[in-house]
Structure 1
Amino acid sequence: MTEGLRERKKRQTRQRVSEVAIGLFVERGFEHVTVAEVAEAAEVSVNTLYNYFQAKEDLVLPPDRASPQRLADIVRDRPPGESAARAVLAHLREEVRHRDPKLGLTEGFGRVFAMMRAAPTLTARLGDLALQMTDALTAVLAEETGVAPDDPLPRVVAYELGCFHSLIYTEIGKRVEAGQSPDTIAEAVLELLDIIEDLLGERVLTYAVREEPPCSE
């Protein structure tokens, strides 16, 4: 569907406000910049800012890019014949190869990452987000496999996938702080994903394989 003029203007305004906010947060620290100051610098009203971002933390971690449904959506969208684990691995590899900004694989992200680590409310948001991702993935795996409500397997698998997903972000952050280039980080993370796949084991790698659709007559 083609983006309309109104939608494009909204997207551009949202992006401009976020960029202005992150610039201020990096310069002065997340805790030392108010929403009103962001709105003034972005030349919008405070009410307009809140129409786009419900909380100050959303200016750095917007729900559409830092969604609790991230892992669940990856698994929901996997093709027939692919397991949940292999879907997550494949998706992460694709993001790394394309230097997806969501992973922080862009020049200049080091200062943004340092700002985030220095802000307790942002680090708490990231911790909560990881737990929410795992819970959402657990629900999807339980529904797709049709297990009993008290079956622990979906949660065990979801937590294992959630842990290696968090590990990838931790590894990227560590290397960003060390000043490595996006290309160097990407190469190291792809090697780490290969190690993770080797260690997961067949039971996890073959769990929740999406069935092929029935053949039509």
Structure 2
Amino acid sequence: MAEGVTDGARNGVDDGGTEGERRGGGTAADDGTDGPWKETGFTEDEGRLTLRERKKLRTRQRISGEATLLFIRRGFDHVTVAEVARAAEVSTMTVFNYFPRKEDLFLDRIPEAGERITRAVRERGADETPLAALRRLTLGLLAERHPLAGVGEGFEHFWRTVLDSPALRARAREAVEELEQTLAALLSEAAGGDPERPGRTDRLAAALIIAGIRAAFVEAVTRQLGGDPVAAVAVEQAEVLRRTFDALERALARDV
């Protein structure tokens, strides 16, 4: 769900440059596809990783970065995994080791979304409810123009690619369901219940929360695709999210 050639592409295991650069084809900036969403992978905790883990992370970033450039330029359905492997200078098997499905090459932040939601709920303040922690998380992502917030310069190239591909749209819907299940387990855990078997209340609360966030997210993406200035969209999106969480607090009967 992420500037020019990605950090992963620039700083991969080897520094021979991307395939496009070696062929003289230039970078994403040449066709307007640069944007913060191209910074793929989990970088905020990189300082705590071992050397081996950092190399694996950068390989993942490079693969996804090259895939994203190809998908945006030619369309997701017109690029094969073998072509992605050649561009990233790895084997097709290596690509699948990092990304079990082709769709995950492009929607590579789905695992990050789950991890951020999990940390927000589990590491919240002593007097902070899970819902308040999620409010803080979503507004924080928007303020930093993180790709998971859906609002940022150049993001429209990413979303047009998703909308043009039935496979990507289907995977995005699955991701929403996965996040809902993750949140239901977290809410059950936070209430002292069994995260493996969240009750009806937890499942309903998770469904309402994810639906509310998704509705606000879709509105912001639609406005960007319509050509509205990013700065204006971001300001109004923050207000939409605040109203959404206010409504969720009123709707949810218990201390979620």
State the aligned residue count.
207
Question: Could you say if the C-alpha distance between residues 3 and 156 of structure 1 is closer, same or farther in structure 2, counting changes exceeding 3 Å?
Answer: closer
- 1:1-217 equivalences under 5 Å are 2-62=48-108, 63-67=110-114, 70-146=116-192, 151-202=199-250, 204=252, 207-208=255-256
Name the Cα RMSD after superposition: 2.4
Q: TM-score, normalised by structure 1?
A: 0.84
Shift of 1:24: 0.8
CA contact (8 A) 1:99 1:182 kept: no
* More moved, 80-89 vs 195-204: 195-204
Aligned-partner Cα distance in 2 for 1:8–1:71: 23
- Structure 1 unaligned spans of 5+: 209-217
Q: Could you tell me which amino acid in structure 2 is paired with residue 95 of structure 1?
A: L
Q: Is the 8 A contact 1:85 1:205 kept in 2?
A: no
> For residues 162 and 95 of structure 2, what CA distance do their matches in structure 1 show?
20
User: Which residue of 2 is the match for residue 213 of structure 1?
Assistant: none
CA contact (8 A) 2:118 2:186 kept: yes
Shift of 1:7: 3.0
Whether contact under 8 Å (1:20, 1:38) holds in the other structure is yes
Tell me, yes or no, if the aligned pair for 2:62 and 2:88 is still in contact at 8 Å.
yes
More relative contact order, 1 or 2 (CA 8 Å, 6+ apart): 1
8 A contact 1:133–1:162 mirrored in 2: yes
Matches of 1:2 and 1:142 in 2, distance apart? 30
Normalising by structure 2, we get a TM-score of 0.72
What CA distance in whole angstroms lies between the structure 2 residues aligned with 1:205 and 1:86? Answer: 15
The 3 A distance-change label for structure 1 pair 4 and 182 is farther
Deviation readout 1:171-196 (Å, 9 max, x if unpaired): 22112211234322211110101221
Distance in 2, Cα, partners of 1:197 & 1:102: 17
